[in-house]
Amino acid sequence: MAKAQFHKNQRVYVRPVGTWAVVERVVPQWVKDVDEPLRVFYDVGLGRDFVATELQTEQATALTEIDPAMEEWRVVRAPNKWRSAEECASHPFPGTFPVIMTGTQEGGGWRVPGVEYDFAPERVELQARIMATGPKFMVLLRRLVDYAESNPENMPQELMVLARDAKTVIDQIRIVDPE
């Protein structure tokens, strides 16, 4: 079951479009004989309805407030421009290198310098997979910390230590460097 996360006339950032808009209508999708809507869509006047994961509030746009569960990072392959596939036949994916897409557009994200990829392609492939799954790791760490904080009496000491370490990692990631 779904509950509305935004309300009418609320200003939201529409991530797929990359612009701010105002929620014009909250559109629940109902199923017969069910008390709550199955899904909730939002009409923001941009030609189609959006789901909650595609929208952000003004408060959530600050770096420290971004919800990792809303991030959809992925690894894509880009053509290798500095060497042909035959020249790099020993690479895990000859003729290509990994690019981590951190947004909904295919142009954004992280790339590795060609020289670094040629030096250690397996290492860079592993780094790309780790970076792309980073938001999911953040969600798992947050869930572990939340569970440990809500059930301290039921947690073994080893898990409490892991939860404390997870909270330290989350806090290190959330720090915004003023420089």
pLDDT by residue (tens digit) across 75-120?
A: 888 887 777 888 888 888 888 888 888 766 666 678 877 777 778 8
Predicted pLDDT at 56:
86
Q: Which residue has the higher pLDDT, 34 or 179?
A: 34
Q: Is residue 63 very low, low, confident or very high in pLDDT (cuts 50, 70, 90)?
A: very low
Total structural domains within the chain: 3
Residue 170 banded pLDDT, cuts 50, 70, 90: confident
The residue ranges of DSSP E strands in the chain, in sequence order, are: 11-14, 19-22, 25-29, 39-43, 49-50, 55-57, 74-79, 96-101, 110-111
Provide the pLDDT for residue 86.
83
Residues 24, 76, single domain; the answer is no
Both 86 and 115 in one domain: the answer is: yes
* pTM assigned to the model: 0.53
The residue type of 67 is D
Q: What is the mean pLDDT of the chain?
A: 82
Whether 89 and 139 share a structural domain: no
Higher pLDDT, 111 or 63: 111
Q: What percent of the chain has pLDDT over 90?
A: 13
The structure tokens listed for 146 are: 């939340």
Sheet holding 49-50, edge to edge: 25-29, 39-43, 49-50
CB 74 within 8 A of CB 101: yes
Residue 4 lies in a domain: no
Instruction: Look at residue 76 in the predicted model and tell me its pLDDT.
Output: 84
pLDDT in tens, 40-59: 999 999 889 998 888 888 76
139 domain residue, yes or no: yes
46: containing domain: 11-61
With 80 as the cut, is the pLDDT of residue 125 above it? yes
Are residue 120 and residue 166 in the same domain, yes or no? no
